[in-house]
Structure 1
């Protein structure tokens, strides 16, 4: 939960009683230090509806998750400025007008209109030819579409579809009774970037679908493109024999069966990463431009695929935790990530990232560094492989091999340092009993 930003406005109603009333501008809060804009996923209160301290007012879509915003005090939702489905709303922009019960709300609409004008960029001054006069409609013609009549008048199914597709209802023209937005209106709506003109009418038989970018997907694209361009990546790959880890995991899982817990290969990987960072702390770092920040604790970011994109919840201070604790925390964080319920402190920060695609039977891949971190480890699947053996008279034996690739930022972690870290990491996984030392 983040503290909301409010601006107190005193409004004197133009009535005989001239009662003094306090209207409050509710602005888009910054749910994280780096957040500059967000989206309105859904309002949980309707216009004119009262609320109490602690009630959820709305859901805000950030670049990482959908976060509930709670009221800090009792009040009443006088006017919604940014409706459901609004995208790219700048932090500090007015999203609603609040009041106290019993207040005169006649000034709410005016405040909302002024806030909308302030948020709109001024038109560019251009010399354009005088527009031809449009003839006035005849008496029998239908009245023009009124946004005021339809901005918050919609059917529940239309609202649901709009939220799923990221369609701003304020831009959808309603064709139902009294301008009500119905399901067909939302399904026919085609969202375009500002200034883009469709070359052809929407065709339901087209063999493609244009998917609007969510705030999360837009941020992922920007951050990873920046990382790939600015950070000089290099890659180190090594094969690790996992037979001892597999045997130890089997023993541990038998002892944990009564508790309903189960260790995964990734739990051992996370622990080995932390142990290797203790041996080579220079890899537990971040490039900050003028300085290299070296961390004292291993806060491991674990990449999790969600319906809206990739997110990296963090298992904090892994070096101080056992395998069972690491496993429980990682599973709980992954579930919250897929449900879109992570709190900012659960995914912001981190000192080293792990991306594991082994469950998809991917044997080898490289990953893009999660800035400003210096390293990310790409983990593939464990596969049986033939290796030379002095003990076997045939000269070969079958072992289970895990392929991992370390991506490093050469500005903060050079090749020799990356090789030292990867050697330490391999040593811990090939001799997992050293976790307990």
Structure 2
């Protein structure tokens, strides 16, 4: 019966293929028997959407496609590397089939979760005849918006055997990067996994590796240069090719949104634009030759105008490029200083010096500004007697156990967070998220700015383990060698300026965390009985949306009791074991 239905449908398809017949609606139970469920000979693909790979992910960047069009996919195969708001995560496929069409190219940024990124078909279907879904043709305005986020140079396909290397996004918040050092020279061979360059992101200096073999043919950006994500920085060629004979694209900059034309400018008599879909390369050709898409008939699928269509039209009609409009030079009156006091004095050096802001400082400024403007900060301060703590530290030092006061504070904070779980929270998407684990971030000053490496599972670690962990993280932070997972995340932050003699200060919350503790220096005072005591002021900055005043007071009270009786830290081993059991 199935064979008869298939034969009859194929016969009708061939008979009416050349007529303007309406689309045939096939019953659901016969869809598997036909070539296509919406048209006659095309294959309807399964939609592959941008997944949500982290709890806070709203947009993603396709770093690299791990499968090519036409490749077979088995359950569990890696499809693509996707950069989330936290790290680069590999997306796996849960079904079998064939990758038929890649909709979103590599390097495209800010792809919303749920956006169509690729199409797959069954293993026995012809993947070359896959049809794009109807919404792609119905909403052409959305397609260029996604394509424009890709680099301009990516639209120009490189010659066979030549690969373009773009500035990668090595951290979720990275928008620009500085090439610190090229680790390969022009003409050097590259093996998969070889380090190509050291790049300074907004967080640290990271090594950029290549996953394909070849030869480094051309370095387009010199060491010390700061470039945007997606900008062309180098060109590689396949082994055996003459690496000196390469084609450098005319534009290496990432794409920018085109400026809207002024209504006062005269318009040329051009045909109205059509509803055809086209990419950046076609758009640039149309602008260079002053053409409209409505005057050229596209030959691509789903009403798409191809680059070859435009080139053929230009050659047939012998059309010349349109001269770019020149910008008038500024008048001498406006360029002249308004008063003698404003005129620069010739022959004398300027008394001012411009200091370039590093990527890390730029991101710190942006995030702190957002934190202060969006988070309602509340503050609570308390004095803690640390005489017993100083005495215990000195005793441990005689036993060749070197731990700092900051190590005691980190451990005491971890136990206070166990007792007060309402402070060990995150504020995400207008919700308070209570975190079962205690991961304390510790602020570390580096030459390029402040960074907060994380002491993971702080409550389960001993004082010596915490001390060793903090020293290792601080050393890596100052050298710019921290890995993303070592500074991204954390549930609570400590900032200690006591070693600089700062008595008290207010720290700014690091979102999505809800609190940060500022530690001041110890100072000697006389109490009511005229006895000399050592006090230390700590100030808690907390998000009033997530933490109430009484919850903040309870946390500080537990912290005070813990530090004023250091033996309580040793007695807290049972709590640590209980925490470890509950967390896992």
TM-score (norm 2): 0.55
Alignment match of 1:98 (pick from 236, 249, 255): 236
CA contact (8 A) 1:4 1:26 kept: no
The alpha carbon displacement at 1:64 in A equals 1.0
Q: Classify 1:78/1:123 alpha carbon distance in 2 versus 1 (closer, same or farther; 3 Å).
A: farther
CA contact (8 A) 2:231 2:253 kept: no
Number of residue pairs matched by the alignment? 347
1:63-212 equivalence runs, <5 A? 63-90=202-229, 92-105=230-243, 108-110=246-248, 112-114=249-251, 116=252, 119=255, 122=258, 125=261, 200=344, 205-212=349-356
Alignment match of 1:24 (pick from 163, 166, 181): 163
Where does residue 429 of structure 1 map in the other structure?
A: 563
The alpha carbon displacement at 1:84 in A equals 2.5
Distance 2:184 2:343 in 1: 40
Moved more, 306-315 or 284-293: 284-293
Distance 2:255 2:226 in 1: 13
Alignment match of 1:241 (pick from 371, 374, 385): 385
1:341-380 equivalence runs, <5 A? 341-380=481-520
Distance 2:457 2:346 in 1: 52
1:397 equivalent to 2:531? Answer yes
1:250 equivalent to 2:400? Answer no
Distance 1:410 1:37 in 2: 34
CA contact (8 A) 2:215 2:243 kept: no
1:118-163 deviations in Å (ceiling 9; x for gaps): 54665665679xxxxxxxxxxxxxxxxxxxxxxxxxxxxxxxxxxx
1:279 equivalent to 2:419? Answer yes
Where does residue 221 of structure 1 map in the other structure?
A: 365
Where does residue 142 of structure 1 map in the other structure?
A: none
1:333 equivalent to 2:473? Answer yes
CA contact (8 A) 1:234 1:407 kept: yes
1:47-89 deviations in Å (ceiling 9; x for gaps): 2322233432111111111111223243211223343233251
Distance 2:165 2:216 in 1: 10
Moved more, 197-206 or 212-221: 197-206
Moved more, 42-51 or 247-256: 42-51
Paired residue secondary structure (2:510): coil
Where does residue 46 of structure 1 map in the other structure?
A: 185
Where does residue 407 of structure 1 map in the other structure?
A: 541
Report the aligned-residue RMSD: 2.8
Distance 1:88 1:369 in 2: 30
The alpha carbon displacement at 1:239 in A equals 0.4
The alpha carbon displacement at 1:105 in A equals 4.2
Q: Classify 1:335/1:203 alpha carbon distance in 2 versus 1 (closer, same or farther; 3 Å).
A: farther
Distance 1:328 1:203 in 2: 56
Q: Classify 1:202/1:312 alpha carbon distance in 2 versus 1 (closer, same or farther; 3 Å).
A: farther
CA contact (8 A) 1:369 1:375 kept: yes
Paired residue secondary structure (1:341): coil
1:262-341 equivalence runs, <5 A? 262-341=402-481
CA contact (8 A) 1:236 1:406 kept: yes
Q: Classify 1:419/1:88 alpha carbon distance in 2 versus 1 (closer, same or farther; 3 Å).
A: farther
The alpha carbon displacement at 1:238 in A equals 0.4
Structure with higher RCO (Cα < 8 A, 6+ apart): 1
Q: Classify 1:67/1:22 alpha carbon distance in 2 versus 1 (closer, same or farther; 3 Å).
A: same
The alpha carbon displacement at 1:377 in A equals 0.5
Paired residue secondary structure (1:349): coil
Paired residue secondary structure (2:426): strand
CA contact (8 A) 2:187 2:215 kept: yes
The alpha carbon displacement at 1:46 in A equals 2.3
CA contact (8 A) 2:217 2:244 kept: no
